[in-house]
Amino acid sequence: MRVLVVEDDENMRTAVAAELRGAGFEVVDVGDLFAADQALRQGEFACAVFDRKLPDGDAIDYVHRIRVAGSAVPVLFLTGLDSAAARVAGFAAGGDDYLVKPFRVAEMTARVVNLARRAGTGRSTVLRFMDIELDTARRQTKRGGVLLTLSDKEFAVLEHLMLRPEQVVTRAYLVEHCWDAATEPVANVVDRVVTRLRAKLHAPNVIHPVRGTGYRLAAPGAS
């Protein structure tokens, strides 16, 4: 699944691209509309993320042109323009979603996943690891075919672990991606959620603590 990121601010482009790659996407990142046009002509993308104001023009005008030409690639606009008129203009030009700067990259990633899913070109809505199935669209979790009842936080933590099987996922990462930005999580909140999650998943255990760091989803008995 490929995502195009069009952003002239190098630091922002690097951060956005890194987050999307971490979520499992193949990312092509460019700094202007000319390079974006070249990329879109060379292959299909699950989603395109455009900064509004670019060195060679306003992305709204470009998106309008490709929509007229028949392009259906889902488009997310990133912009500092937060007026109602700017949002309306973005949607009128053919944009599918609109995110105002500054924003949390975790929210941006969630919006990209949603656009790719709705377009039918993104990842499957069902994540699998061993006998665990997590359906992100239906918000359902099963183990061994048995439906489990998870809280929103338990579901979110399991989803991020399943997106990165065999990899260490830090507590800081889980706090950033699973808790609201306005909420200040209390000490050990991740550990408490993981403890409840492991109990609901039952044995054999597949969520392993990594001392001083976080957790890793791996086969039972993995070190």
The CATH number of the domain covering residues in 126-217: 1.10.10.10
- Would you give the DSSP letter of residue 185? P
Structure tokens at 138: 């239906």
Cα angle for residues 134, 136, 138 (degrees, 5° grid): 95
The whole-chain average pLDDT of the chain stands at 86
What pLDDT does residue 128 have? 84
Structure tokens at 126: 């069902």
What pLDDT does residue 143 have? 93
Q: Are 25 and 19 in contact (CB under 8 A)?
A: no
* Mean pLDDT value across residues 13-20: 91
Confidence band, pLDDT 50/70/90 cuts, at residue 59? very high
Structural domain 2-119, CATH architecture: 3-Layer(aba) Sandwich (3.40)
Nearest C-alpha neighbor of 59 from the set 75, 70, 41: 75
pLDDT at 221 over 50: yes
What pLDDT does residue 106 have? 83
The model's pLDDT over 87-129, given as tens digits with 9 standing for 90+, comes to 888 888 899 899 888 888 888 898 898 888 776 544 456 788 8
- Would you give the DSSP letter of residue 25? -
Nearest C-alpha neighbor of 31 from the set 47, 49, 52, 55: 55
* Mean pLDDT value across residues 75-85: 86
What pLDDT does residue 48 have? 95
Confidence band, pLDDT 50/70/90 cuts, at residue 49? very high
- Residue spans in the chain of domains classed CATH 1.10.10.10: 126-217
* Mean pLDDT value across residues 32-56: 90
Query: Higher model confidence: residue 186 or residue 102?
Result: 102
- Residue spans in the chain of domains classed CATH 3.40.50.2300: 2-119
What is the pTM (predicted TM-score) of this model?
0.55
